[in-house]
Structure 1
């Protein structure tokens, strides 16, 4: 049988936002309750703590810190070999390296959010208890995503400390755009993660092939590794509307201080920021709707506590 949410006090229907605000509708009148806001924030912080424990509880803390620094290296080692050794004349090493690093920061978040559904249901067998708690499942996923995003950014920052001087990468950061882009990037990743989690809620068996195909497709089309202008015109135009493309290009410009290729060069940095903000708003709203729908359907179909030993 499916697991349903307990009745909330005051018959309030709370629409949670990641910043901790909640819009409560009581008897048809919309108003905000400070208690509801505090409850959302507590649930969000508790979910961040759970995510941190899951990420780091397999070893000693100092070993985990070393792992944190070493883990991102695998994501850009191939780029260094490809462009730093065999493609020196192209001058695309900064473009590809920065693009790969920032794509990694997003992909680790939304794929971790999706896989957390399988982990909580199959591995830890706690998904039904999460649904029974006072924290909404959307808030729980967003808290887990925040921890993963901060871990990814920390790993990037640590590795840039040696990548920039060793590879002589252009580094003229605009901190305003970097901070704004990082915040909006979290919302982009969380929105995609919520959408993928909604699919995983309705999928009993983990389908790794679909996830791998999605990862590879977005990696190529987002322009992370090489400029989409190398594609045929149709695919190059499609690449401009991939959700990660404006974010990656914004972060490239914000950290390097220059336009590295002709891809999206017709847009100013401020226009890129606006496009990223629009993508973040649309994706987060869409992901919230989809995960709410997926949660209801999973409860009705009894998928919350189903295990397959897969």
Structure 2
């Protein structure tokens, strides 16, 4: 440690701030608008968490609403739908993770192995495009393709199979949800892995070729180890988001006929908060969801640090 670094370390917070301001004032000023936006749109709304502990009324506001402590949470835990909602959220989140997380890695590896630049750019463009299509449009396309008179049922009719109402049968909901998620996000999610691959030393590949390694062995012994930090970081974040499954797509796809597999925490919050206007109760459920996400994130980071020696912090 240099003398300057040691001197800065021993400074008080105010002294460090003055030193940083003197050295980096223009960078700090440039970051100020972003910090203000984060404070206004991310931290200030967190004041609304208090409503989770109130019998909240729009007319009385936060200050005038009755304080009821943990009653909303107890009510949620005793709700007849509690087990179903928790089960659906975790099952859908886990299945989504198991299928959608490896897909961009595989796609990035395949694109990286393409020798022809024009074909590589074409494949990248085709796989990226679905990400920029609205979820509403995606679900609309799915409902057209899988409807009773859609192309899928027309093909089934050719082989004498009775029409299937895919969006009204619970057995097909998870497959439709996960399949559409892979199609929509696989290309865009592969960008990070492709960027990480470009950072791998090409001399390692040259040495492997001289040793007679096939392309397949190069992927397993050079490319994947080079992607390891990126994969672990994104996996930890993905585990933290298991309970935050896509609310908007589920809301557009599900119906009372598929509640037994499709009704998750976020959709239940929507029904209770927006439709039933039970704001305190819905806030409590949302807070519970956030706490579970934080616990999963911390747990994934802890086990990753202990077992794989890689972590976010």
TM-score calculated relative to the size of structure 2: 0.30
TM-score calculated relative to the size of structure 1: 0.30
Greater fraction helix: 2
